[in-house]
Structure 1
Amino acid sequence: MRVAIFTDTYIPQVNGVAKTLKRFTNYLKDHGHSYHVFAPKDFGLSSTEDVSRLKSVPFKIYPECKISFPNLSKMKKTLKEFNPDIIHIATPFTIGLSGLHIAKKMKIPLVASYHTNFDHYLQYYNLTFLENILWKYLDWFHKPTQKIFVPSKDTLNHLATKGFNKLSIWTHGVDCSIFRPALNQNEIKQKYTINSKYTICFVGRIAPEKDLETLTKIISYTKQRFGKNLTWVIVGDGPKKEDMIKNTGTDHIIYTGYLQKKELVEIYGICDLMVFPSDTETFGNVVLEAMACGTPVIGANAGGVKNIIRNYSTGILCEPQNTSSFCQAIEDCFHGSEMLKHMSKKARDYALTQDWNSIFNQLVLELERIIAPQPPILFSKKA
């Protein structure tokens, strides 16, 4: 199978969409399929045999996605040479639009994947007046597709209520051979000068849609409640990082910036809990990564996160934007050491069932059915 992927975000950008697509292309290559990715030019990277890099600038509202300036004639030429069986659009921006246009013009089977709840983002950027326009655009954009893949049951239900059909769940997995419990916690804690009894982390883009207001209030409460017995580790970067540092201070709080995989696994491995108040996630890759490392997650009972966490088993689900709910959950965990150990084991056990190969095997089967649909079964009439 030959798959052309059109996306406005791709590695080396650090976000769930880019990492998922890279993992998918690795799978395709390892299993004898071919792919070609059309993606933004970033960090000075040039095009390769498998990836066409297009000139781009950051999208102001969502810098992880780029606004590119595609050369349609050049893209068509590249695509004709690649001769894809199917086109997969991963984002609804300019590169995604190019893929949509070319698929229709060249009559190539077309699917899309829906990774971001843009409508939920609007409230955090004071742009809710654009919601109706946004949904009209997304409806128009996805209408020509033969299938829309979504990462969670919650996202599927959300789109279904907006009138979308041809929906299918393409969930996400985790590599448990990489994301695993730490065996050398003391060494890692010494590396980061962590001497406290408890450690909590937050991992994600430091931007409004992650509900930083609630996170800041949780940090403020726990600092007063646990003092020097608790260290927070904030992993990630983003437009609100400096504001957040100003609001939380740095006393018993470590801001690491973006971390490479090895260091990220170390942080997950030394933390007693991860707190993740974001209510805008279609899935929540970092939640599953933390669980794979044996770190229970206290997350918002919303979006894709609520489909990952099993309440008071692999973590705790809290009312979105309710600081008291999150703080009570932290209290429950720290006052019940046996419960914390139980959740740690259950979190790791659940993550072990979320295997990427099985997930991609199913996705490829669905793509193959679209490329070569099975003929209808004809029943002969009884005499």
Structure 2
Amino acid sequence: MRLALFTDTYEPDVNGVARTLARWVEYLRRKGIPVLVFAPDPADDRERAAMASVERFASFPFFLYPECRLALPRPIYIRRALHAFGPTLIHVATPFNMGLCGVHYARKYQVPLVASYHTHFDRYLPFYNLHWMVKMLWRYMNWFHHDSRSIFVPSRSTLLDLKQRGWDEARLEVWTRGIDTKQYHPGVDRNTFLTQHDISPDKFIVLYTGRLSPEKNVDVALAAFAKFQRDICPDALFVLAGDGPSADLLKQQAERERIPTRFLGFTGMPNLQQWYAAADTFLFPSSTETFGNVVLEAMACGTPIVCADAGGVVDTVEHGWNGLICEAGNINAFSDALKQIHGNADLRGRLAARGIAYSLRQSWDTIFEELLIRFEKASDLDNCSWIRHISE
């Protein structure tokens, strides 16, 4: 197999899709499988040199997700590069400019095509007052994925969502996410770590990590924490690791309502692992996730989970077993869950232990071994029916 990957987000972008794809490419190369990646330029040109093995293109920020970038492809250059490479399978990971190039080449030159579906963009649109685009978006998504032999989704929940929209279940396959437990683990000297950050070790630390944006419902987390801190635990502190378009508004809300918070901004490893491991609970109210990598990261670090009952996180978290699940958007429910964890040390310990045990079973190599078999099957010209239609 010779794989050409088209994506509009790739390392050094900081998001779950970019990191997952980079791990997948690294795994394939370790196995001796040739891979050619087409991706946008990183925002910081200084980071480009370290990614010399990736074909890069000029780009600009995507308005729904500025941390990701939309490429300005050069079709003639791409065609020459692909002819020289000779792919036996094309993988399109995003439905934007780079993905379109991959679809076009696969259709024109009859190369087997697979896709991976990572983001519920339709659920983002209402948060940006773009409800009117939802039907148009789904028409486009149906067209974009029409010729993919397989469409890989991060969770069973996402698969069922797409099935309900009329997508062919026979082509939908779950590509779950793994965790590197050498990077994410419970090890931390909590007292020393918090003291170094001018935080009393007696504080009850509630942590959120991820993008600070409307579709992540971080305002719900802030309001739920405020109620919990006011009514139950005056010594609680809400720590938010991440950045995004809602950061300023959330900071203003916290200051205006005198909510004890610590905004860390973007936080890389190994510092992020230490925040996970030092926290008393992880609060994640997002209802738009297709998987929710940060939930698995928190579990691996022994942090009890409180999350929403929507999206892909429900495939990872079992209520009362390895986390607590709350009605999406219900501030009182999230506050009550924080109260349960704060007031019950035994519950906190059980959730933490079961979360760690679950994460230890989510090996990247095991996941990629199974995925490679599926990709090789898709690349077999004799195994599947041919492309459904050839574009003009």
Match of residue 211, structure 2, among 205, 208, 227: 205
Residue type matched to 1:362 in 2? E
Match of residue 268, structure 1, among 253, 276, 284: 276
Residue type matched to 2:83 in 1? K
In the alignment, which residue of structure 2 is the partner of 1:144? Answer: 147
C-alpha contact 1:87 1:109 (8 A) present in aligned 2: yes
Match of residue 182, structure 2, among 177, 188, 192: 177
In structure 2, the residue corresponding to 1:66 is in which secondary structure? strand
Mapping 1:288-299, distance limit 5 Å: 288-299=296-307
In the alignment, which residue of structure 2 is the partner of 1:18? Answer: 18
Match of residue 155, structure 1, among 153, 158, 161: 158
Shift of 1:50: 2.5
- Structure 1, unaligned runs of 5 or more: 377-383
Shift of 1:229: 1.6
In the alignment, which residue of structure 1 is the partner of 2:390? Answer: none
Alignment of 1:279 onto 2:287:
yes
Alignment of 1:326 onto 2:329:
no
In the alignment, which residue of structure 1 is the partner of 2:98? Answer: 95
Alignment of 1:218 onto 2:224:
yes
Per-residue displacement from partner, 1:332-352 (whole Å, max 9, x unpaired)? Answer: 111110110011000000000
In the alignment, which residue of structure 1 is the partner of 2:243? Answer: 237
Residue type matched to 2:129 in 1? N
Mapping 1:36-55, distance limit 5 Å: 36-42=36-42, 43-44=44-45, 45-46=47-48, 50-55=53-58
In the alignment, which residue of structure 2 is the partner of 1:380? Answer: none
Per-residue displacement from partner, 1:105-139 (whole Å, max 9, x unpaired)? Answer: 12111000000001111121111111111110000
In the alignment, which residue of structure 2 is the partner of 1:188? Answer: 193
C-alpha contact 1:219 1:248 (8 A) present in aligned 2: no
What RMSD over aligned residues (CA atoms) do the two structures have, in Å?
Answer: 1.5
- The whole-number CA distance in structure 2 between the counterparts of 1:188 and 1:32 is 41
In the alignment, which residue of structure 2 is the partner of 1:379? Answer: none
In the alignment, which residue of structure 2 is the partner of 1:257? Answer: 265
Shift of 1:73: 0.5
- Structure 2, unaligned runs of 5 or more: 385-392
In the alignment, which residue of structure 2 is the partner of 1:64? Answer: 67
Residue type matched to 2:91 in 1? H
- The whole-number CA distance in structure 2 between the counterparts of 1:270 and 1:236 is 17
- The whole-number CA distance in structure 1 between the counterparts of 2:63 and 2:296 is 29
Q: Given the two structures, how large is their TM-score scaled by the length of structure 2?
A: 0.93
Q: Given the two structures, how large is their TM-score scaled by the length of structure 1?
A: 0.95
Alignment of 1:368 onto 2:371:
no
Per-residue displacement from partner, 1:225-262 (whole Å, max 9, x unpaired)? Answer: 34542111100000110110000127631111111120
- Larger RCO (CA within 8 A; separation ≥ 6): 2
Residue type matched to 1:144 in 2? D
